[in-house]
Structure 1
C-alpha cells in the first residue's frame, strides 16, 4: 500500500458535490501537487486529509492506517496555509516552538530543534523578531518552519505562495523543494499555477470540477494532455477543430480536435519541405514579448496558431507580413 491512499472519497457541502469518487495514492517522500482552477476540490481534499473536513464517503489511509475518523490533532500532519497565521504577539522563536511546547517537549530540546529548523529556512538571525518586523516571504518561511519542526508524517501546503511577489515566489519554490528533499518529508502542495506545479512536483494530479482529470509527471502532463481541459490548463496549447487543420494541410484526422504548442511551430519567409511537418501559409496578426521569447499569432485561413521564437538578434517579424509555418507532426496532440 502507498504511504497515503484516498479510496473512493466523496465530499458534499449540502447539495454541492465537491469531491467525486477520488482515488489517489502518494508514495512516501514524494512531493505531489494538486493543480487546478479555483473551486475544483483540491483544497477540500487537502483539508480532508488534515482532518479539518470530514469525508461524506470513502476512506483515507496514512502509512497503512485508516485515519478517516481520526481527530486532526492526532494525525501527525503539518499544514501551511495561504495566510501565514502567525501569532502576532509571539516572536519567531516562540511561533516556531508553539507546537513543541504543546507536545510538552523538554525545553533544551525545543531550543535545539527551533534553532536547527530556522537555520534550515535561513531565518536564524530573525529568531527574536516579531511577525510585523518580517517581510511576507520571511513570514511564510516561519510558517513553514513551524509546520515541520514537529516532524510531521506529512506536510500539506495550501497555496502558500500565492500572496508573494513573482521573484520571491520563485526563490521560495526552490527553497521548499530543497527543504522537502533534505527532510525527505511526504508533501502535498495545492496550487492553481501550472508553472509552480512544474517546478516543484514529482507527480501532478490535475483537478477539474471535483474529478482528477489527469495524473502524471510534469513532463507527461505538458507533453501528452489527454483531454481538452488538460490541454487548455497545462502549457499554452492552441485547440483547433481537426477538420480545420485537415482542410489547411490536406491531411486526414479521425479526432474531433487537435492541440498544438507554440514551440513546435516554426516561422520562415520562404516555404520549406519536410515530410515530418505540416506546412501552412499565413499572416502575422500580432506579437507579444516574453523576455527572450516572442510569441507570434498567425492567421492561416481558418486556422489560427501561435509560434514561439527565441529572440537573439535581427529584426522581428512584423504585423501584416506573410510567412510560412512548419508544424511538427509528432507534436500535434489529437483530442
Structure 2
C-alpha cells in the first residue's frame, strides 16, 4: 500500500467525527432553553399548588392558571418534538397537576337539599359609572334578582337607576356612591338592616346587611369589592380586605356577591371558601367561565390581557345552588353574573 493511500485513509478517518456531528435537536443551546422552560413551569406550578404567591408579579400571574396549563402542554409537545424527553415529561407532569386543580370547576357538584325560600342574586360592576344602565335594567327585569350587588357606584349612578325604575322593582337599598371605583350599592326586594361591624374598613366600600327573607329563612348578605391587586402597594390592602370578609360563625347564613378581584387560584380566595362557603359557579361546573377582561389592550387593541374569573357569588355551605350564569357585559370590563339559590 502506497504512502498516499495510507494518508488518504487517515484523512477519511479524521473526517468521520465531523460527519457524525451532534443532531440539531441535541444542540446545547436548545437543551438549555428547554430546561429553562421546564424550570419556569415547575416554579409556576409550585407557586399555585402550594399557595406561595406573594408580591405583585406572582399574585397577578397566578390568575392565569387555565391559560398557563395550555401553554405548558404545548411546551411539553415542543420538547417532545426536539426529543428532550426528560424535560418534556417533567413539564407535562406539572401541567397535569395544574389541570387537576381546574377539573372541579368544570364538573358540577352534588348539592345539599335545602327547603327554604329561593333567592336570586345578581352582581354588576358599573365600570366607574360607564356601564350601560338601560341594559342592566333589562337584565334586572329578565332575571328578577332578589338582591343586587353593585360595584363602582359613582355619585350619578343611583339617580340613573332611579330614572329607570330600579327603586320600584327593588325598593330597599343601602347605597354608598363615591368617585372612581370606591362606591358600592346593595339593592333588595326585601327589608334589610345594615350590619355596621362588617366591611367598613376596606379600601372600596363594602356593604353587609341582614335580609328579612320570606318563610323565615333570613340571611346575611354582603356586596363585596376587595381592593384590586393592581400594584405592589395595593397587595397588602387586597390581603387585608380578604381577611376582613365575614366567615361563617354559626349565626344566620352568609351570601356574598361581587367583584372579589381574585380567582379560585388565589390562595386567599381558596381560604375564604374553605372557611365554609360554596362558589356558585364551581358548584354548577361553570367555574372556568371568565367574567373580567380589560376593555383596552396593547398594539392598538390587537393584544389583550386574557379574560379571567373575578366575579363570584359564594354561599354558606348548606345553601343549595340551583343555577349560575355569566351574562353579556354591559359596557363594562366585568360581565354581570347571576346565581339562583335555595336557602336552608
Q: TM-score normalized by structure 2?
A: 0.28
Q: Which has the higher strand share?
A: 1
Q: TM-score normalized by structure 1?
A: 0.28
